[in-house]
Structure 1
């Protein structure tokens, strides 16, 4: 195995990842490692009759001998999530067959990618977001070839190409204290190209990190 420093073939990487994926997911225990303290005071169980379904896509692709996935900085035009660092994705629409289709559709729209080049690996552990009442289903996939990004100008301020070896270095994990609405929030975050990746997205990525480490695909 040539990991964890470089890759020569994304197909081999995907094969190794799927093998570990099929052994079972780390689940909420892995997510909790990057959970902000405000969740300790929130209702972390959804009401299926009220919760809105959504999905996001973790989309691996090879660039040179390194593996990446895209994060996005939401633009000021997308007022509800303005300025957030997140995975591409959004809410389920009645025209979607399922949440996988939702994730692909939203990624096509936000990143300008071709859906037929997105190959699904599978879902990881879903996460309820109390503040927005969304039940988010993360989907893992890989892209065939090198993606040619074209960001949606309304929703996306910038696309952050995220190198997995860099992101998951120990010195890229930090914690800060945020004062918001009378709460003091302890917020762990990943540092990625000068941005802070925290909250629900960081929790989702934390489970991904655990899977990659378990499979010896990152250090």
Structure 2
């Protein structure tokens, strides 16, 4: 049984992963990431999916994990979805979506969807690899495509799908002390999930909390494991 989560903020935190080391800055440089993907060392994702899938037929999807090369270090470009969407309304996510028939491969899907959602041109993106497929509770099989993003781009949001785009320092996300574990019981079922709440400036410069959780947090945790090997 898959336990539905209607308000993740209200689900108690049962632990934080302070016992795990933060990723060293030397492992969060463009040069290290390029080499890490080229080497392809053996590893297994810690969280391969959300749990038991729904009864629907699996669908293929792809997201871009955009690592913006800022002077202060790499940051991750994320989006907050609009509240009216049928799926994952208001959630923090990577730009991406369902594979279309004309997409050549998962990379093409990730780049196309990213340009459609936030206006980030593929000309600014250097794709360096991908992480293992992540299966969501809604039966999407998602390929996370990792790309280095050259600064100088301008974003134009699809306001039907995306409320805002923002950046989070990779260092923050690769520090397990910021990884919270939640557990919820519902009608005899139990589900655990990760969150990585981040407080930073919104588009107007005001400080606000961005509650990164679910599949997005899980894929970031897998990225941590990948870079830790």
Equivalence for 2:214: 199
User: Does 1:24 find its partner at 2:41?
Assistant: yes
* 1:166 CA drift (Å): 1.8
Q: Tell which deviates more after alignment, 19-28 or 95-104.
A: 19-28
Of the candidates 184, 189, 193, which is equivalent to residue 195 of structure 2?
189
Q: How many residues align?
A: 196
For 1:191 and 1:117, how far apart are their aligned partners in 2? Answer: 28
Bigger fraction of residues in helix: 1
Q: What SS does the aligned partner of 1:171 have?
A: helix
**CA offsets per residue over residues 152-200 of structure 1, 9 Å max, x none?**
2111112120111122233311123335566343322112222332222
Give matches, 1:61-210, under 5 Å. Answer: 61-129=68-136, 131-179=137-185, 183-193=189-199, 194-210=209-225
Length-normalised TM-score, structure 1? 0.78
CA 1:43–1:156 in 2, change beyond 3 Å: closer, same or farther?
closer
* 1:88 CA drift (Å): 0.7
**CA offsets per residue over residues 89-131 of structure 1, 9 Å max, x none?**
00001121111111001110111111122111112111122x3
Q: What SS does the aligned partner of 1:140 have?
A: strand
For 2:36 and 2:26, how far apart are their aligned partners in 1? Answer: 19
* 1:18 CA drift (Å): 2.2
Equivalence for 1:15: 31
Q: What SS does the aligned partner of 1:81 have?
A: coil
Q: What SS does the aligned partner of 2:62 have?
A: strand
In structure 2, runs of 5+ residues without a counterpart are 1-23, 200-208
**CA offsets per residue over residues 22-78 of structure 1, 9 Å max, x none?**
2325332x236xx76xx2xx259x99xx32110001111122222111111110232
Equivalence for 2:64: 57
Q: CA RMSD in A?
A: 2.6
> Do the aligned partners of 1:5 and 1:165 also contact (CA within 8 Å) in 2?
no
